[in-house]
Structure 1
């Protein structure tokens, strides 16, 4: 069914949506967030390991962009949350890694993020 499809956005589109007031849901674990996090006005942090018991904290009346480090865990989280009845969800493709590579705002140490990971962009060597 078409309603089962997970909508994805890239970090650049996410940056635009944030300017419009969209909420980011970071599902990375606490230690990951303490080391490096998104520097955005509206951020909700619920680790994937706690999502089952805390998903009811996610606002149901607004569009949520779910994020992680690479976009893989957040994709799974969106799938899980859809099963729980949340529908206004977007997954950010390529996650925090691509966010950092694009130079978007972060808080913390970006040294663990590969700066030139080959991602299909024209700058790859």
Structure 2
């Protein structure tokens, strides 16, 4: 699944009208009922996580087996570390006729830089 996503996304990036939002817009959408789907791996999320309640954690390594968990009736903002994996997932879902998916541009990096809420694991003392 991952190889399929990577190889095909780059070829079709220009062809598809993938929706994208910046961090501030994503945060407003989430406050108004959208879901944030974090596709980073568990180890990354354990280090720093998006600090919002409406989060569906679905690492890209588990993505293929969990497609049925992605709602079609609410807006889903797909996020990762820098926006690359989330773009791939957004593209794939768009190809699967999900009309409600939006990529979070520049991922949790821009989210944190914008001062939006994050949960950071405390260092061992």
Q: What corresponds to 1:86 in structure 2?
A: 98
TM-score (norm 1): 0.81
1:8-57 alpha-carbon deviations (Å, 9 max, x no partner): 00001111111111100000001111111001020000001111111111
1:92-118 alpha-carbon deviations (Å, 9 max, x no partner): 1011001111111000149xxxxxxxx
- RMSD across aligned positions (CA): 1.8
Q: Quick one: which of 23, 41, 44 aligns to 1:11?
A: 23
Q: Quick one: which of 46, 53, 56 aligns to 1:41?
A: 53
Structure 1 residue runs without a partner (length 5+): 111-125
Runs ≥4 in structure 1, deviation > 3 angstroms?
none
TM-score (norm 2): 0.81
Larger RCO, structure (CA 8 Å, separation 6 or more): 2
What is the number of equivalent residue pairs in this alignment?
Answer: 109
User: In the aligned structure 2, how far is the partner of 1:34 from the partner of 1:93?
Assistant: 21
